[in-house]
Chain A
Amino acid sequence: MFGLNRTYQGNNRHLTIMLLITFLLLVSGCTQNANTPETPSDDPPSPSAESETQTAVPTAKIDPLKPAPPPDLTHLITILNPSNFDTLYLNPISLSTSQQDVPGALWQSTFKIEGLKDESIQDAINNDLNSLYEAMEKADLPPYRGIYQRIPPGTPHTMFTLNASAPFNFENLLSVAIYSDKTYTFNDPTGERSEYIGRLETRNYDLRTGDKIPLPALFANPETAMHRINDEVAKMLSSQNSDEEPGFENGLYWVPRLTTPFKGLEANQKYYLQTNGIVLVFDHQTPDFDTGFYPAQITLPFNLFEGEIAIRQRFADGSETNPYLNTGARDQQFVQSDTFFSQQLIAGEETFENTDFRAFLHYRYPKDLPPAIQALVVTTLEESRLFVKSLKADENLAPGEEPYCEIALDITEVGPFYTLRHSVYTYKLTDGVRPATGLSAFTIREDQPLDLMRNPAYFASYDADGHRISLESCFDANVDYKALIAAVYNKQALLYGYPSVDKSQLENVIFSIGHTGFECFFPDLGDYGYMGMEYKDLGSENLTIFNE
């Protein structure tokens, strides 16, 4: 072709133009075909469309459903002394939610962000989210393995739901998780059939710049981050027997199954953040895992990477300019420790013999508790056992009624604190069925001391030395904490339809420190005594619990 042009240059401009047009037609024709046989240009039409980098023709619009390219980590410095973080600073932005509902066809809940000082960054993030919402609605079947054996290619969806949420909105980082479900209805030899497909797309933005944050950038040393992550994922997969087909004893169906040896995840791995850790998403973009027609997720708790994560240092350094319109004090909450992570737990269940009723004692608490808290656990468990042994069933049980007792002890790490929750349920089972309201079958219950055993749900928080924390000590000395609590109570009471209270009614509070707020029970308020109080409502600046 070039030879011809050289030979006949100058006498054939039309030919050149024609060649050019032909070339463009040729390439664009193929690209269009490869992209979208039946749908608009954003759709991934062929099974490979999402996993291949298209280089034939630069397109003005990047397909938002494509995997992120391998990140360039070279500009990220290594943070030498990352500090552990117990707390998280909430970003003062608002999420403006909108919903669409077309019964039987569409339900969609999306949001855009508001509150960034730099409108161009805010617009860029909102535009990116919008294009993702749109692409998820228009997208053809995601190329899950085997999907064409269940749903004929090209089948349009009949029902679409989409829900966008922000599971992490702290430290100048915003994680967005967008989950969609599509229903496909079609006819096959067995008649009309419906199949359901789930899809999860994520975004992680640096709110200072609008940049998307790759997974390794969360770590102090981005170069070694994937190695560490892969070490932990490998352990987790091993602990869940991911190389076995589900169906065996205790096989967990929601765990992603390996189709090949686990060889490690790439730096562009899809993920989002939660307040307890990093959530990795597995789907058609990670074919080493078989997840069926839905994404699967694995959560890596932050505390697996103590001293290795540098979110605050990298993204929320104090020397940075405030990127928000709101320049007030930032609200805080605690990183959520994950007591559901079995490798970090001690857990057990005891049944009781020599009782004339059924009784169970469940417990779980983190490994490596400080000695004082460990002693508290031992004492509480022993008290629980003695309590069960002291129980005597009512003599006036009707036929079919059965006394039943269940005690649960749970210890959670909340920042520098340890929160104990002790629940005692005593029931009168009727024909083996637990009643809707807990009528106790035991008379001795009311004779128990006010604390542990008398309260169906007792909770308290302690410091590492085992000292019980008082509510008063959680507030700055200059704050009238009772008045503040009464104000927050009354604000919520309006919503719940509770009577409003005076601060004099808030004596003898039972309370605990949670990740996002206090859990309170005011005995003098009877049925209206239980109330959660979020730190952002109380004002983090009024609290001492976040002080270093």
Chain B
Amino acid sequence: MPEEITKKETTNSNRTGKESKPLRRVVTILVMFLVILMFGAGCGRETENGGTQADNGGDSGGQTQSGEEKDSGGQTYSDDAPSFTPETYPRVDGSTVTIPLSEALAARLMDMTPEEARPYILHNKTHQAYVNLIEKKADLIFVTSPSEEELALAASSGVELEVIRVVSEAFVFLVNADNPIAGLTPADLQNIYTGKITNWSEVGGKDLDIIPYQRPVNSGSQTGFLEMVMTGLTPDGTELKPMDPPMEQIVAEMGQLINAVASFENGEGALGYSYFYFVMDMWGDENIKLLEVDGIAPTPESITAGTYPFTTAYYAVVRRDEPENSPARQVVSWLLSDGGQTLAEETGYVRVK
């Protein structure tokens, strides 16, 4: 029908304004055409969001729109965005910290706003995401690297995981903005957290006790701290172990008070740690300072380049037997493209390249 209308429109286009009746018909047809177009385009997305038949992708599983490809780190990645509908988008899962990335990605590839895409993206947190991937309830997860437990579960289930670095991350140390210390070395940090250095003056700062805050046991940050910072052996050959952290009481459910690792309070002598993603642009960041480590400040550039010492990443993980051009692989491929990396950067993450 639209084609037919277009033909009539073309046929009548040479008529003059004086021939009002035919022209009126033309305008009528033109208006109808516009109506149809606008209903189709403007309203169709809402229909699609509502979960009815989608009109841009059908059952084809997400097609790359053009064939241009570029090489990155030994793998071939597409720089053109594949197109999906809610029905064809891969089943994704992941950690809490990667939710904005996942939502922005889904919105971009399903041609939605983040608000529209949000109800379609469910992250069940890191461990459950791994379980869901291994049990084939998810096809693509955005997470931190797998734990020993998760690798063992995959192995026992006969699943091989393919872990792909998609955005960079760093483990950063923070102090009060008024602390004159610019940076520390990894050895300084180990000495502070093992209790060998207790005063900022020992590392070139004020004569002030260091309050070295830690994070709760088994939290993501504490695990990162132990794996990235407290590595190696003491001079007597034993494993590095942080001293007991400052403790406080917190209110649990039903008003019960429980002992917990004290959370960072930005006092003059405080030293804390976090992931870069959560401290960049956070409320009150003018009151804290991120420390250089080995003279390298944690910046998006130094983290992407890997020159900042405590650099890590968030990963896309798929099952190794995921077909070559499956929706999951198409999504990962695009995320690693320049367009995908720019999207990640705009969402608050650090580019992987």
The docked-state distance in angstroms from the alpha carbon of A364 to that of B258 is: 12
The docked-state distance in angstroms from the alpha carbon of A37 to that of B17 is: 42
Considering the complex, which residues of chain B in the window 243-291 have a beta carbon less than 8 Å from any beta carbon of chain A?
A: 248-253, 255, 257-261, 263-265, 274-275, 277-284
Q: Which residues of B contact A144 (CB under 8 A)?
A: 119
Q: Which residues of B contact A30 (CB under 8 A)?
A: 38-39, 42-43, 46
* Contact B122–A46 (Cβ < 8 Å): no
Tell me if A239 is interfacial: C-beta within 8 Å of chain B: yes
The docked-state distance in angstroms from the alpha carbon of A29 to that of B248 is: 58
Tell me if B116 is interfacial: C-beta within 8 Å of chain A: yes
* Contact B28–A37 (Cβ < 8 Å): no
Other-chain residue from B35, B47, B51, B222 in contact with A152 (beta carbon distance below 8 A): B51
> Separation in Å of the A274 CB from the closest CB of chain B?
15
Considering the complex, which residues of chain B in the window 180-213 have a beta carbon less than 8 Å from any beta carbon of chain A?
A: none
> Separation in Å of the B269 CB from the closest CB of chain A?
17
Tell me if B219 is interfacial: C-beta within 8 Å of chain A: yes
Q: Which residues of B contact A147 (CB under 8 A)?
A: 119, 122
* Contact B115–A47 (Cβ < 8 Å): yes
Q: Which residues of A contact B112 (CB under 8 A)?
A: 47
The docked-state distance in angstroms from the alpha carbon of A349 to that of B259 is: 10
Binds B, one of A217-225, A254-262, A506-514: A254-262
* Contact B31–A146 (Cβ < 8 Å): no
Size of the A side of the interface (Cβ < 8 Å), in residues, is: 74
Q: Which residues of A contact B220 (CB under 8 A)?
A: 244-245, 248
Binds A, one of B62-70, B72-80, B95-103, B334-342: B95-103
Binds A, one of B123-131, B150-158, B302-310: B123-131
* Contact A149–B31 (Cβ < 8 Å): no
Question: Can you name the residue of chain B whose Cβ is closest to the Cβ of A244?
Answer: B219
* Contact A341–B251 (Cβ < 8 Å): yes
Tell me if B49 is interfacial: C-beta within 8 Å of chain A: yes
Question: Can you name the residue of chain A whose Cβ is closest to the Cβ of B98?
Answer: A259
The docked-state distance in angstroms from the alpha carbon of A121 to that of B153 is: 63
Tell me if A409 is interfacial: C-beta within 8 Å of chain B: no
* Contact B253–A252 (Cβ < 8 Å): yes
Other-chain residue from B43, B99, B114, B282 in contact with A29 (beta carbon distance below 8 A): B43
* Contact B46–A247 (Cβ < 8 Å): no
Other-chain residue from B23, B34, B35, B115 in contact with A51 (beta carbon distance below 8 A): B115
Question: Can you name the residue of chain A whose Cβ is closest to the Cβ of B48?
Answer: A46
Q: Which residues of A contact B219 (CB under 8 A)?
A: 241, 244-245, 248-249, 251
Question: Can you name the residue of chain B whose Cβ is closest to the Cβ of A363?
Answer: B257
> Separation in Å of the A287 CB from the closest CB of chain B?
6
* Contact B122–A34 (Cβ < 8 Å): no
Tell me if A467 is interfacial: C-beta within 8 Å of chain B: no
Question: Can you name the residue of chain B whose Cβ is closest to the Cβ of A155?
Answer: B51
The docked-state distance in angstroms from the alpha carbon of A241 to that of B95 is: 15
The docked-state distance in angstroms from the alpha carbon of A248 to that of B107 is: 31
* Contact A258–B113 (Cβ < 8 Å): no
* Contact B35–A48 (Cβ < 8 Å): no
Tell me if B172 is interfacial: C-beta within 8 Å of chain A: no
The docked-state distance in angstroms from the alpha carbon of A335 to that of B282 is: 33
Q: A239-B263, A250-B258 are in contact. Are A148 and B251 (CB under 8 A)?
A: no
* Contact A46–B49 (Cβ < 8 Å): yes
Tell me if A347 is interfacial: C-beta within 8 Å of chain B: yes
Chain A's interface: helix, strand, loop or mixed, by majority?
loop
Mark contacts of A145-157 with chain B using CB atoms, 8 A cut-off: 1 yes-contact digit, 0 otherwise. Answer: 1111110111000
* Contact B118–A145 (Cβ < 8 Å): yes
Q: A19-B31, A146-B123, A364-B257 are in contact. Are A46 and B17 (CB under 8 A)?
A: no
Question: Can you name the residue of chain A whose Cβ is closest to the Cβ of B272?
Answer: A238
Tell me if A33 is interfacial: C-beta within 8 Å of chain B: yes
The docked-state distance in angstroms from the alpha carbon of A37 to that of B47 is: 8
Q: Which residues of B contact A239 (CB under 8 A)?
A: 250, 263
Considering the complex, which residues of chain A in the window 19-46 have a beta carbon less than 8 Å from any beta carbon of chain B?
A: 19, 22, 25-26, 29-30, 33-34, 37-38, 45-46
Tell me if A290 is interfacial: C-beta within 8 Å of chain B: yes
Tell me if B332 is interfacial: C-beta within 8 Å of chain A: no
The docked-state distance in angstroms from the alpha carbon of A50 to that of B264 is: 36
* Contact B116–A48 (Cβ < 8 Å): yes
Mark contacts of B5-46 with chain A using CB atoms, 8 A cut-off: 1 yes-contact digit, 0 otherwise. Answer: 000000000000100100110011001101100110011001
Q: Which residues of A contact B119 (CB under 8 A)?
A: 47, 141, 143-148, 153
* Contact B35–A149 (Cβ < 8 Å): no
Question: Can you name the residue of chain B whose Cβ is closest to the Cβ of A253?
Answer: B253
> Separation in Å of the B196 CB from the closest CB of chain A?
26
* Contact B255–A340 (Cβ < 8 Å): yes
The docked-state distance in angstroms from the alpha carbon of A147 to that of B103 is: 13
* Contact B263–A241 (Cβ < 8 Å): yes
Mark contacts of A208-242 with chain B using CB atoms, 8 A cut-off: 1 yes-contact digit, 0 otherwise. Answer: 00000000000000000000001101100011110
* Contact A259–B27 (Cβ < 8 Å): no
Tell me if A18 is interfacial: C-beta within 8 Å of chain B: yes
The docked-state distance in angstroms from the alpha carbon of A287 to that of B221 is: 22
The docked-state distance in angstroms from the alpha carbon of A22 to that of B261 is: 65
* Contact B43–A33 (Cβ < 8 Å): yes
> Separation in Å of the B91 CB from the closest CB of chain A?
8
* Contact B216–A234 (Cβ < 8 Å): no
> Separation in Å of the A5 CB from the closest CB of chain B?
10
Question: Can you name the residue of chain A whose Cβ is closest to the Cβ of B28?
Answer: A18
> Separation in Å of the B85 CB from the closest CB of chain A?
12
- Beyond A14-B24, A146-B118, A261-B283: 11 further Cβ-contacts under 8 Å? A15-B27, A47-B115, A48-B116, A143-B115, A238-B263, A239-B250, A249-B260, A250-B252, A261-B348, A290-B123, A342-B257
The 9 A-B residue pairs with the shortest CB-CB distance in the complex, in nearest-first order? A146-B122, A261-B282, A248-B219, A153-B51, A149-B122, A48-B115, A249-B217, A259-B99, A244-B219
What are 19 A-B pairs at a CB distance below 8 A? A8-B23, A18-B28, A22-B31, A22-B32, A34-B43, A145-B119, A146-B121, A153-B49, A234-B284, A245-B97, A249-B216, A250-B261, A259-B99, A260-B277, A262-B283, A263-B283, A340-B255, A341-B251, A345-B249
Residues of B within 8 A of A (CB): 17, 20, 23-24, 27-28, 31-32, 34-35, 38-39, 42-43, 46-47, 49-52, 86, 95-97, 99-100, 103, 112-123, 125-127, 215-222, 248-253, 255, 257-261, 263-265, 274-275, 277-284, 348
